[in-house]
Chain A
Amino acid sequence: MNSSRKVLVADLLDGCRRGDPKTQELLYKALSSKMLGVCTRYARDSYEAEEMLQLGFIKVFRKVNDFRGDGSFEGWIRRVMVNTAIEVYRKAQKSLNLVDLDDVHNAPQQMFDMEGLEVKDLLAIVQELSAGYRLVFNLYAIEGYSHKEIAQQLGITEGASKSQLSRARVVLKEKLAKLEGKKYASNVR
């Protein structure tokens, strides 16, 4: 399964480098669901997620010759998607204050039952975050970027990255608690 997939990706890469439309469509069909999952985490809603996916794939097809073969093609496409999300954020940054005004200091520690949480709920909570929090949390917690990398990518200081992350975490915990409370309430009824 794994080897056949590698061969497939190599074939698609070759066709994409030649600019073959059929191969481009095949690659899109093979990876669009996975990449839309990535974009959804960075977007505030499904519309923005699809917009990011569209921009990301256009970039993939236009810059496919930049892929040197270091690492997997899929991993490279995934990085293109993340970078697209960062670009979308930076374009919107002009009208957006990175340090959100949510007052979340001194929030009380929440208690959670993690087993009962569904992906859809978690995704909705992340999407509700402000753009800056969402971006830093995604890059650090899910993609595994360091604060230094995040600072370089977003053009902010490492301290600002750490601050954004900690505030994002506080908001997420609050939202999880609310979610748990609703579920508990619905179960009691």
Chain B
Amino acid sequence: MQAMSDEELDRLFREKLQSYEANPSSRTWQNIAMDLQPRKSWGNTQRRIWMAAASVVVCVSLGLLLLPGKPPVKLQASQTDTVQPVVVAEPVKETPVKHREAKSVLFLERLASMKIEGGKQVKKYKESSRVISENIASISQSHEEYVELPVAAEAPATDLQTVVAPPKSVAKQVKTAPVLALAAPEQQEEVERKGKIRSVGDIVNFVVRQVDPRKEKIIEFTSDDDGTSVSSINLGVLRIRTKQNDPKLN
């Protein structure tokens, strides 16, 4: 037995208790594991919520991107069936523009080939137009491509009457009667027109023809001596058409 100092007391407890160990109950670990788990599951649910939100955003943006693209896809699928009628129904308005060299010849030919009131006079006009074409072809050699009716009037007197007369009578009747285009010559023209792309407008027209099977295209350009300009726009509800491109005037 001895009196104990403070240092001895501290050392006694330090030596005996510092390395003291005790086994915890199994419930303690279960509590710890449970406490750690909810955070993980919350993290997982958060991740899932973000994944769901992200996928919704992706779906919506994909839908927005693809929806406007659907109609052209459908049209392309039926392209093979519809291309031929489109070519036939194509207005003749661009013909004089793309074939400057035979401009007047083609114009008169077309006038002559028009069907007027039951087509009785068609043959007659066709014959006369051939004569006119031949005459004008000889004239156009000397006057090159810018031959017009007033110029043609300066041709020899024997030919003058035949040259001038038919267009006048045709022009009068065109105003009163509906006009139908003949398919055969215009199909040829269409093929030629497709082959010759001379301006940006022609490129757009070509692309639009491939995509839009309607008679009146979504947009159409006309090229003339002054340059290329928009001749018609067809947005379904809204249709804009310049006067020179109006089929009634052709």
Interface assignment of B29: CB less than 8 Å from any CB of chain A:
yes
Interface assignment of A172: CB less than 8 Å from any CB of chain B:
yes
Interface assignment of A133: CB less than 8 Å from any CB of chain B:
no
Interface residues on B, range: 20 to 34
- A37 to B21: give the CA distance in the assembly, Å: 4
The answer to whether A54 touches B32 (Cβ under 8 A) is yes
The 0/1 profile, CB within 8 Å of A marked 1, for residues 1-22 of chain B is 1111010111011101111111
- A166 to B3: give the CA distance in the assembly, Å: 16
The answer to whether A122 touches B13 (Cβ under 8 A) is yes
Main secondary structure of the interface of A (DSSP, over half): helix
Residues of A within 8 A of B28 (CB): 32, 50, 53-54
Interface assignment of A173: CB less than 8 Å from any CB of chain B:
yes
Interface residues on A, range: 35 or more
With A122-B17, A141-B13, A142-B13: A61-B36 Cβ-Cβ less than 8 Å: yes
- A166 to B21: give the CA distance in the assembly, Å: 27
A and B contact pairs by CB, cutoff 8 A, 11 listed? A28-B29, A33-B23, A36-B23, A37-B17, A46-B22, A53-B28, A114-B4, A140-B10, A142-B10, A142-B14, A172-B9
Question: What's the nearest-Cβ distance from chain A to residue B151, in Å?
Answer: 93
Residues of A within 8 A of B191 (CB): none
Q: Which of A18-26, A65-73, A95-103 contacts B (4 or more CB under 8 A)?
A: A18-26
Interface assignment of B226: CB less than 8 Å from any CB of chain A:
no
Question: What's the nearest-Cβ distance from chain B to residue A34, in Å?
Answer: 5
B3, B12, B20, B36 interface centre (most CB from chain A within 10 Å): B20
